[in-house]
Amino acid sequence: MAGCQGLVLLCALLWLIFVGDTTAAICSPTLGPAGFEECVNLYPSYSNRSQWATCLTDSYIRQKSKGRHACIDTRATYCWYQCMIETYEIGPGYPAPSPVYDDCACGSDSLRTTQRPSSMSTLPPWCFSPNGQECSWYKQCLEKRHPCEGTQSAYAVTYAEKFCNLYTDYARYLGQTGQNWTNAVRKCLQVALVTTLRPWVTISCEKIRQMAINSHSECYLAPYPGAPSICDLPATDWWKIFWTIKSGFLSSFVESLNGLFDVLKGCQRNVLDNLKDMVKFKFYIERENFKGQNRSTLEELNNLSEAVADAFAWKLGWSDSGIMWYAYYNFTTFNSTVPVEVLITAKGIYNLDSPKVSNFNFTAVIDRVVKAVHDGDLFFTNIGDKCEPIYVKQMRECVDFECKQTNQEVTSPPKKCNSPNQEVTSPPNKCKSSAFGLTNNIMHTILSFFIFLISIAVI
């Protein structure tokens, strides 16, 4: 079948020239316009059932099919692209006709009456053949056609735009490979969602979110034949992208980015080995109230890790010293001792949003952590969703990202009872005072929303 796929475009074209009625939409090879759709019957190469075809740019078709399909007319900028090949990669069948599935069928062959959604008419042609360079595509096209922001299944317009603008705003800070990768990925991410704009598509916000999630790892690994993969990025470029995206959201969010690390694990070369200009800690936290009744979920422990690191940052003045942190839980045990992984760097090094800093001296930051653990100062009374007391028992400063080797290991003294400091050792949070109740509820909602948004970046 693969050999015939290119012909499909020709079939659609011929049909419209010879059979198309006078009301048929046009698709000029030079002018398009993109987005016009037509109901075509391609019997006998497909079953005797009409399907949709859309006028699209050759460049979109090549990107969408990862180079497998193109306009037959090599000089054409635009040509017809039919639903079965665009959606299912099912080209015309010889001699047995290929099927036409329900969601591609149109006209009297459609099982449902397809109504052109009213929002459709307001979508400009460029929405249908995004070139990846218009970061407003998410708001102007996707969100207009499917208003999902603010629903339970919001697609990360915020995340996607942030990523898209990374290239526009910061390409000059990345190497050539990093630039090419970012540019290819942002195009890949848009193209992956274009089919949802078609007028015959009825799709839930949750399904769109799923489609977006599924496209991420594929787009990161292989955005386009010939474009670099995430595995080809130099470690410094990858960390710049990671920290810049992270900084675009509330100072702390967790589980979300772990998935990115999993994508990197698939690479032959270990991008993560290089901890240049970063420090990785592993803190062993004692949960004082933990009775061992119910196992905590991974999400709870990730939430806890995040809250713990925020408390450290508050206590140790990380923000003021220009430090950014990323904290997460990486499954090892479920008991009262929780290993919390904390990665820190200086804003001016990897966050492209911040003014540049070179030769940041991490020694003072590390020394302060070591002293705090050594003195048993990292005790907090109200941490996380459960407002629980936690105490740092031990800390390892790691040589490598996975903490296979340690530079130093510090153990805390047994916790002092009735420490006079006890009352002031928790950062202001929702546990502290009812006066903050309303504000914190709102903050909590906003925070959940962002965590939800960013979670699409995971897979």
Ligand X SMILES: *[C@@H]1O[C@H](CO)[C@@H](O)[C@H](O)[C@H]1NC(C)=O
Is 259 in contact with 457 (CB distance < 8 Å)? yes
What DSSP state is assigned to residue 132? Answer: S
Nearer of residues 102 and 385 to ligand X, judged by Cβ: 385
Nearer of residues 116 and 276 to ligand X, judged by Cβ: 276
The least distance separating ligand X from the CB of residue 242, rounded to whole angstroms, comes to 12
Is 347 in contact with 457 (CB distance < 8 Å)? no
CA distance 98 to 84: 9
323-329 and 379-383 strand pairing:
unpaired
Number of C-beta neighbours around residue 151 at 10 A: 13
The least distance separating ligand X from the CB of residue 170, rounded to whole angstroms, comes to 16
CA–CA–CA angle 312, 384, 206 (5° rounding)? 115
The least distance separating ligand X from the CB of residue 199, rounded to whole angstroms, comes to 23
Nearer of residues 55 and 174 to ligand X, judged by Cβ: 174
Is 426 in contact with 309 (CB distance < 8 Å)? no
Chain-centroid distance, C-alpha 387: 30
**Burial tier of 189 (Cβ tally within 10 Å: 0-12, 13-18, 19+):** buried
Tell the residue number behind the tokens 């504000």, with chain if given.
439
CA–CA–CA angle 405, 398, 292 (5° rounding)? 95
Binding site for ligand X (CB under 6 A): 43, 48, 176-177, 180, 228, 258, 261, 293-294, 297, 299-300, 303, 330, 333, 335-337, 341, 361, 363-364, 385, 402, 444, 447-448, 451
CA distance 311 to 53: 56
Nearer of residues 9 and 398 to ligand X, judged by Cβ: 398
The least distance separating ligand X from the CB of residue 33, rounded to whole angstroms, comes to 27
The least distance separating ligand X from the CB of residue 444, rounded to whole angstroms, comes to 6
Nearer of residues 65 and 177 to ligand X, judged by Cβ: 177
The least distance separating ligand X from the CB of residue 400, rounded to whole angstroms, comes to 10
CA distance 87 to 33: 20
The least distance separating ligand X from the CB of residue 367, rounded to whole angstroms, comes to 6
